[in-house]
Amino acid sequence: MLQVGDIAPNFKAAASNDQTIELCEFRGKKVVLYFYSKDMTSGCTAEANDFSHYQSDFSAAGAVVIGVSKDPITSHHKFIAKYALPFLLVSDPELAVIRAYDVYKEKNMYGKKTMGVERTTFIIDEQGVIVKVYKKVRVNGHVAQVLADIQTLFAPMS
């Protein structure tokens, strides 16, 4: 598992803006990279709506929010349109980004073991270094905590 102090793995992937993006394009900005399992599901929708709600605060803090799931771009477009999401969603059907960030895990759903994306968020600084990792995220209050941590981690030194 990636840890604080590690360089965030670069990736090149299709994004909801119909462009191929690379993480390294965001050097000079803070990045909130969050992994979720599926568009339109209740927990993932609540998390995306929370990120949307705090979007202006993340922007004011100099942070870009990027969501990653294995859903296709067409699904991302519907998700963004339905909930007016103001940030990029990355499509990773081959699980390249998801595996690079080690968030594809065995899950236990009602006694049945399956493989899936473990809800995880990374805060990456302007130089591409991971400064905070949230594993096994619980949606309620998570996005507010991420914002508070960004404001604390990057507070101007007095």
Q: Assign 96 to helix, strand or coil.
A: helix
Q: Which of 18, 16, 127 is nearest to 65 (CA)?
A: 16
pLDDT score for 157: 66
Catalytic option among 44, 85, 103, 143: 44
pLDDT score for 142: 96
- The topology under which CATH files domain 12-153 is Glutaredoxin (3.40.30)
Q: Which residue ranges make up each domain of the chain?
A: 12-153
pLDDT in tens, 137-155: 999 999 999 999 999 999 8
Q: Are 52 and 83 in contact (CB under 8 A)?
A: yes
Which residues of the chain, if any, have pLDDT below 50? none
pLDDT score for 158: 59
pLDDT in tens, 79-106: 999 999 999 999 999 999 999 999 999 8
- Catalytic, 24? Answer no
